[in-house]
Amino acid sequence: MICVVVLLRDSKVLIQKRYRPDKGKIFEFPCGHLELGENLIDACSRELQEELGLTELKALFHTVLENVVGGSVGFVVFECPDHKNPKVIDPRRKQEFFWLSVAEVL
């Protein structure tokens, strides 16, 4: 299952622009895959730490949806306090971070 992190702060969500070798620079939510034995919240918490250097965030909501090709995508919404900010952990990803309103994302 793919796990997707949605960070919420002041009614805005975090979107990252990052480099993917097969696609170039793209906009996406932080995401990854569940590892063996992980639950959805633990997997998203791990991705937060690995991709953004963020730990100990409160999970507000989670859900699992089926995608159009028959796979599952799990989403976890985390609250991100003002004093915690995402960091570039791996310079090869060439990450940029944007806090956008939901209307800007849609």
- Domain spans of the chain? 2-105
Classify domain 2-105 at the CATH class level: alpha beta
Per-residue pLDDT of the chain (106 residues; tens, 9 = 90+): 999 999 999 999 999 999 999 999 999 999 999 999 999 999 999 999 999 999 999 999 999 999 888 899 999 999 999 999 999 999 998 999 999 998 898 8
Task: Taking the CA atoms of 18, 54, 76 and 12 in sequence, report the sign of the dihedral they define.
Answer: negative
Decide: residue 76, CB within 10 A, 0-12 exposed, 13-18 middle, 19+ buried.
buried
Cα–Cα distance for residue pair 69/50, rounded to 1 Å: 27
Cα–Cα distance for residue pair 42/25, rounded to 1 Å: 27
Phi/psi region, residue 70 (left: phi>0; alpha: psi -120 to 50; beta: rest), is: left
Cut 0.85: pTM above it: yes
Report CA Rg, the chain. Answer: 13
- End-to-end CA, the chain: 24
SS3 10: coil
